[in-house]
């Protein structure tokens, strides 16, 4: 039996934060023409009273409805998000309950960020090809904007909220999910971090003391900190290396890949990676202009849109590359 | 490489810079609109044109365009 991606749907919160809203908050950025190269014009922002599981449940309900999937046939749910509803139990259990999934359906959380989609696919493939399960539901959900400091002009431009649901199923012939490459640059754990609020540093008064980075982005230890230049350098180095390693492991050539979908980090970074790898522009599919960077949901949302626009059809070989918080990398090749 | 070529490349990449405005002694942080996006543009340019990695920490030690140029030259 082989695992393959059978269906994808996604869900976005309704509230929008457009570039014109952004320039109202940060008027000093209005003349910065270089910002256009980030590739984002609007993002969706989750309501403060909703959580990542709310978005995830909506994405799952969308996949059941849109692709006529019987929820009772789901054998396992992989819930991939950086945000949890509770300290315990796992959010996958909350999602299992709200989706009214079967008593025999397993459920675990994956606390992985921007590289989360390849990680979840690899576990789904293992559950199908090694353990004989048939239908694995992956949910990637992000409400990262809740953790961004209101004065952080870099992160507020980049990130948007959203969730995607992917059904990975089994089929008799024809591989659907290929080899994987993973990597962990754990010396860079501090490059993308929310320092306070976990077990290591409980929230205290000092968590809310603002500080400014070299570029005037303001945050505090209770909110997201991202060292943009370090993450950018990591992307420029780690992603081309990971892709060439994956091609070697898969015994294939770059020319044999029909389409590349990168984690939708930032268009300027993706385009720089594309140029380094000498990938023709038409072979890279991006979808971030209206959604921003939705963390681990960004790749499945882009796949959905690539299928809708006819860029992915039956038989397409698509290379997926995730990279981000950790700092962590993961890539695979999908045969649709 | 020489500094005038280096400056031309930066001016070509950064949208709001009129060619001829950047000088070796320009303190780049004082440029209007200087933001993390400008740092990313310089990082990408130095990586792709000169195959040199310049980190945020390296940039922090630079004040002028000439400082960045000397850093890149020292790594070549």
Q: Which domains does chain A have, with CATH numbers?
A: 2-173 (3.40.47.10), 178-335 (3.40.47.10)
The alpha carbons of chain A give a radius of gyration, in whole angstroms, of: 19
**Residue B37's pLDDT is what?**
87
Which pLDDT band, with edges at 50, 70 and 90, does A304 fall under?
A: very high
In a domain, B46, yes or no: yes
Domain limits for position B63: 3-12+27-75
Q: Which residues contact A1 (CB under 8 A, 6 or more apart)?
A: A128, A129, A132, A170, A171, A172
Please state, in angstroms and rounded to a whole number, the distance separating the CA atoms of residues A286 and A284: 7
Q: Which of A217, A263, A266, A286 is catalytic?
A: A263
How much is the ipTM here?
A: 0.90
What DSSP assignment string belongs to A135-177?
EEEEEEEE-GGGGS-TT-HHHHHHB--EEEEEEEEEESSS--E
B61 inside domain? yes
Q: Quick check: is B36 in a domain? A: yes
Residue B42 lies in a domain: yes
Residue B18 falls inside a structural domain: no
pLDDT tens digits for A227-244?
999 999 999 999 999 999
Which of A76-80, B6-10, B12-16, B57-61 has the lowest average pLDDT?
A: B12-16
Decide if B64 is inside a domain. yes
- A102: confidence class by pLDDT, cuts 50, 70, 90: very high
The tens digit of pLDDT for each residue in B23-67 reads: 899 888 887 777 888 899 999 999 999 999 999 889 989 999 999
CA dist., res. A105 & res. A72, Å (int): 9
CB-nearest to A272 from B36, B44, B60 is B44
Closest CA to A316 of A264, A259, A267: A259
Contact (CB<8Å) A34/B35: yes
Enumerate residues 6+ apart whose C-beta is below 8 A from A251. none
B21 within a domain of the structure (yes/no)? no
Q: Nearest chain A Cα to B38, which residue?
A: A34
Taking the Cβ of residue B44 and every Cβ of chain A, the question of whether any pair is shorter than 8 Å is answered with: yes
Answer yes or no: do A229 and B55 touch at CB < 8 A: yes
Q: Is residue B37 part of a domain?
A: yes
CB B26 within 8 A of CB B17: no
How many domains is chain B partitioned into structurally? 1
What is the reported pTM? 0.95
Q: What local confidence, expressed as pLDDT, does residue A32 receive?
A: 83
Mean pLDDT across A114-134: 97
For residues A56-73, average pLDDT: 98
β-bridge pairing A317-324 and A259-262? parallel
């Amino acid at each position: 039996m082989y695992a393959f991606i059978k269906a994808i749907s996604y869900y976005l919160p309704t509230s929008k934060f457009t570039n014109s809203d952004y320039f109202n908050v940060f008027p000093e950025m209005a003349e910065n023409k270089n910002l256009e190269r980030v590739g984002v014009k609007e993002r969706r922002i989750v309501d403060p009273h909703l959580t990542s599981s709310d978005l995830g449940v909506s994405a799952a309900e969308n996949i059941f409805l849109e692709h006529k999937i019987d929820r009772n046939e789901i054998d396992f749910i992989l819930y991939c998000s950086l945000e949890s509803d509770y300290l315990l139990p796992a959010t996958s259990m909350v999602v299992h309950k709200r989706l009214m999934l079967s008593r025999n359906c397993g459920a675990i959380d994956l606390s992985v960020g921007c590289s989360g989609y390849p990680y979840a696919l690899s576990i789904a493939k293992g559950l199908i090809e090694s353990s004989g399960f048939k239908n694995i539901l992956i949910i990637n959900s992000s409400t990262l904007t809740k953790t961004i400091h209101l004065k952080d002009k870099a992160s507020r431009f980049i990130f948007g909220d959203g969730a995607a649901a992917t059904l990975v199923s089994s089929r008799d012939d024809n591989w659907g999910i290929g080899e994987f490459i993973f990597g962990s640059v754990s010396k860079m754990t501090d490059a993308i971090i929310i320092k306070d609020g976990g077990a290591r540093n409980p929230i205290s008064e000092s968590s809310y003391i603002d500080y400014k980075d070299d570029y005037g982005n303001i945050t505090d230890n209770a909110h997201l900190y991202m060292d943009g230049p370090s993450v950018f350098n990591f992307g420029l180095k780690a992603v081309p290396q990971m892709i060439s390693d994956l091609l070697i492991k898969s015994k294939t050539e770059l020319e044999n890949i029909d389409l590349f979908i990168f984690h939708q980090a930032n268009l300027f970074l993706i385009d720089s990676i594309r140029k380094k790898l000498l990938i023709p522009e038409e072979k890279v599919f991006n979808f971030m202009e209206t959604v921003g960077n939705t963390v681990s949901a960004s790749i499945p949302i882009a796949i959905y849109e690539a299928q809708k626009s006819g860029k992915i059809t039956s038989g397409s070989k698509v290379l997926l590359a995730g990279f981000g918080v950790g700092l962590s990398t993961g890539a695979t090749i999908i045969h649709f | 490489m020489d500094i005038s070529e280096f400056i031309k490349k930066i001016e070509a990449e950064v949208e709001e810079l009129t060619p001829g405005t950047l000088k070796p002694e320009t303190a780049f942080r004082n440029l209007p609109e200087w933001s993390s996006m400008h740092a990313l543009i310089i990082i990408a340019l130095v990586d792709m044109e000169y195959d040199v990695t310049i980190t945020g920490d390296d940039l922090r030690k630079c004040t002028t365009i000439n400082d960045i140029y000397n850093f890149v030259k020292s790594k070549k």
